[in-house]
Structure 1
Amino acid sequence: MKTQPNDMTGKYLGNASNYFPIGTKYYEITGISPTSAIAVEIDKQEWVKAVYVNRAPFHVMNVFSIPKLCIGLIVIIVIVIIIKWRQSKKNN
């Protein structure tokens, strides 16, 4: 089934398909949960609907798609840097 989604974000990462080549672009289809199906660009301005069959394995880039987690990690890193900097300043 070929379809052109009304609204596509292109924000999906990885390549969990054994069928489509690496670098294939995935898009969200308006009105359909991306956990059910996504659009896959097979040619310029041509998409197919890919239906969820198996859960994709975890990819480290998934962590960066969660804003609160990213902010939390940055805050923790900054705190650790400040603590280390203060400790080294006291030792001098």
Structure 2
Amino acid sequence: MKNEDFVILQLLEETDCLDRERTLVKGVPFHQSGAGLLGREKARPLVLHPPPGGFPPVFAVPELAFYCFTEAARQACEQAGLKGLWWRPQQ
């Protein structure tokens, strides 16, 4: 079966960049919260440390249940007309 209208992305490498002290889950630092995997709305704020060399365009963080995209990757996906992606800006 072939469907050129559907693409799935699977990342095999993870980027260990979550700030476990400054990322809060219900007001408690992640490392004290007992949380294992964070969904889209669980962490407020979500704080990431840039890895050496900077973030790749698309990356997976071990503690997150979603992939992260840089602004350049977001723009490329929009220009390509990809659908089904959820964007939440981080500071």
TM superposition score category, shorter chain reference: under 0.3
What TM-score does the superposition give when structure 2 sets the normalisation length?
A: 0.24
What TM-score does the superposition give when structure 1 sets the normalisation length?
A: 0.24
Q: More helix by proportion, 1 or 2?
A: 1
Say which one has the larger Rg: 1
Q: More strand by proportion, 1 or 2?
A: 1
